[in-house]
Amino acid sequence: MALFSEILPPGGTLRRVLQPRNLLVYVHDVAMAFAAFVAAFFLRLGPDFLQDRPDVIESALTFAAVAAVTYLFTGLYRHVWEYVSAKDAVNILRTATITVLVFLPAWFFVTRLETLPRSLPFISWFMMVALLAGPRLAFRMFKDRRSRGAALAGDATPILLIGAGAEAENFIRRAGPDTHIAGMVTELYADRIGQMIHGVEVLGRTEDIAKVVSNLENRGLRPEKLVLVGPNINGGAVQKLLDMATMLSIPLQRVRVDDGNNFTPRPIVIDDLLGRPQSNLDRAAMSAMIRRARVLVTGAGGSIGAELVRQICAENPAHIALVDNGEFNLYSIDHEVRARAPATADLNRGDRVHLGFDPDEAHVFDSDGTRRTAVVYSTG
């Protein structure tokens, strides 16, 4: 049923066929159908087939006419050869199958198929597939080779691809002439090292990026970008790649698989390092909790604690107390936010910790509770 899912050519078919490029492809494909049938007779009966079977030309013209009508249904002539793919191959198989299946009953009413060799339909099918697919594949290979040559000779940006899976294959197919993919490295597909995907070689493992870049540099192909492709890459792995990229002085970018058909590399963002989408904080609720409240911040002298103090002070608390185990760090943050008049406390003198209010009534922010639990004293 799938073969005959379209019972009528789409509207405007004649107009589309008459477009110069479509018409050229259409005429080519009809000629290939004729040649396929003649070649099938040659393979079946030998070089003297025209003498033995004078009806070959007539039957070949009928076969080509059936193919010409079939092309109107399948739209084979409308597909751009430069981007021929597996989907086009399926369409060619479908077109050849429909042509043979329609030709046989049509020719039966003319000749009863009494003089048609039994194997000829099968040979014709294979020849038609070969003659339709061959030129398309050759043209695609020619264009790909020319694009790679232009990239090497021109101003194309050489990149090293991190990944060798389906996402990398998609990126390679969609890479424009301004991009030259010098090679790939991979972690998940180590068994593919030394193999090629669309002419691009898998050069090594991800951990060997420095060595791979050095080898490419010796060949005059030092990458100007490292492009990460692939799903399910955790933040730790991205951070390691970012460190390696920094060491090599090469920017790291990423193609996100959830961008649909957008294969443009983008700079690494915080979401990549987190390994998840960035959480949106409820700033309004936080502000309402802190405003005009009494606040105690432990670990206030550390980098995280100091930033926490700054953000809390921006919300206008009624009172803020800063607690830290390091005197200098505590002095620094105290000096920075002295306008809020905090009460400082040294945790090493638990008997002298007086906060100026009941801790049970305060909002306590512990910037690193795991590390500082051991130095929290009772103030009762």
Question: 258 and 287 share a domain?
Answer: no
Question: 251 and 317 share a domain?
Answer: no
What's the pLDDT at 211?
92
What's the pLDDT at 271?
56
What's the pLDDT at 5?
40
CA–CA distance, 204 with 182 (Å, rounded to integer): 12
For residue 361, the domain's CATH number is 3.40.50.720
Question: 132 and 80 share a domain?
Answer: yes
Which of 241, 274, 307 is the endpoint of a domain? 274
Q: What is the 3-state secondary structure (H, E, C) of 99-121?
A: HHHHHHHHHHHHHCCCCCCCCHH
Which phi and psi angles does 27 have, rounded to 5°?
-60, -40
Residue 262 DSSP symbol = -
What's the pLDDT at 8?
43
What's the pLDDT at 307?
83
Question: 314 and 362 share a domain?
Answer: yes
Interval 207-251: pLDDT, tens: 889 999 999 988 888 888 888 887 667 777 888 888 888 888 888
Does any domain span residue 151? no
Q: Where are the alpha helices (DSSP H) in 231-302?
A: 235-248, 270-274, 283-290
CA–CA distance, 274 with 235 (Å, rounded to integer): 5
What's the pLDDT at 96?
95
Question: 270 and 292 share a domain?
Answer: no
CA–CA distance, 76 with 61 (Å, rounded to integer): 19
Question: 45 and 88 share a domain?
Answer: yes
The enclosing H or E element of 59 equals helix 56-74
Strand partners, 80: none
Question: 48 and 163 share a domain?
Answer: no
Range of the domain at 12: 2-145
Cβ atoms of 98 and 104 closer than 8 Å: no
List, run by run, the mean pLDDT of 10-residue segments along the chain (380 residues). 44 74 91 94 82 80 93 87 82 94 85 77 94 91 70 70 83 77 84 83 88 89 86 74 86 72 65 60 81 85 83 84 83 77 51 51 57 41
Does any domain span residue 150? no
Strands (E), 292-349: 294-298, 319-324, 343-346
Instruction: Domain count for the chain, please give it.
Output: 3
Does any domain span residue 178? yes
Say how many residues make up the chain. 380
Q: How many C-beta neighbours within 10 Å does residue 228 have? A: 24
Interhelix angle 20-45/56-74, nearest 10 degrees: 140
pTM: 0.53
Does any domain span residue 380? no
Q: Provide the token pair at 340.
A: 């809020």
What's the pLDDT at 95?
94
Question: 73 and 172 share a domain?
Answer: no
Question: 6 and 141 share a domain?
Answer: yes
Question: 315 and 205 share a domain?
Answer: no
Strands (E), 21-173: 157-162
Which of 145, 164, 187 is the endpoint of a domain? 145
Nearest-Å Rg of the Cα atoms of the chain is 36
What's the pLDDT at 362?
55
Does any domain span residue 54? yes
